Amino acid sequence: MKPPAHTPHPSRSAAHLLPQGQKGTPRRAVLLSGLALAACGRASVQAAPAAAPLKALVPAPVGVAVMRGQLEDTAWTTLARREISQLTPEWEMKMEYILAQDGGWRFDAPDRIATFARASGMRLHGHALIWYSQGQDWFEAIKPARRAAAFDDYIAVVAGRYRGQLAGWDVVNEAVAEDGDGLRSCHWSAQFGQDGYIARAFAQTRAADPDAVLFLNDYNLENLPRKGATFLRLVERLLAAGAPITGIGTQGHLDIDIPAGQITAFMRDAAAFGLPIHVSELDAPMGAGLLDRARRDARRALQTARVMEYAEAFAALPERQRYAFTLWGLRDGDSFVNRQGGGDSPLAFDDAGRPTALHQALVQGFSAPATVRKERG
Cα separation, 58 vs 359, in Å, equals 12
Is the bond into 128 cis (omega within 30 degrees of 0)?
Answer: yes
Active-site residue, from 90, 281, 309, 312: 281
Nearest to 218 by CA among 182, 173, 256, 162: 173
Residue 256 φ then ψ, to 5°? -70, -5
Nearest to 266 by CA among 225, 303, 238, 304: 225
Bridge partner residues of 168 (DSSP): 125, 213
Q: Identify whether 174 is a catalytic site residue.
A: yes
Cα separation, 49 vs 89, in Å, equals 27
Helix ranges, 162-292 (H): 187-192, 196-208, 225-240, 262-271
Pairing mode of beta strands 123-131, 213-218: unpaired
Task: Fill in the DSSP letter of residue 183.
Answer: B
In three-state secondary structure terms, 86 is strand
Active-site residue, from 83, 90, 174, 222: 174
Cα separation, 39 vs 42, in Å, equals 9
Residues catalogued as catalytic:
174, 281
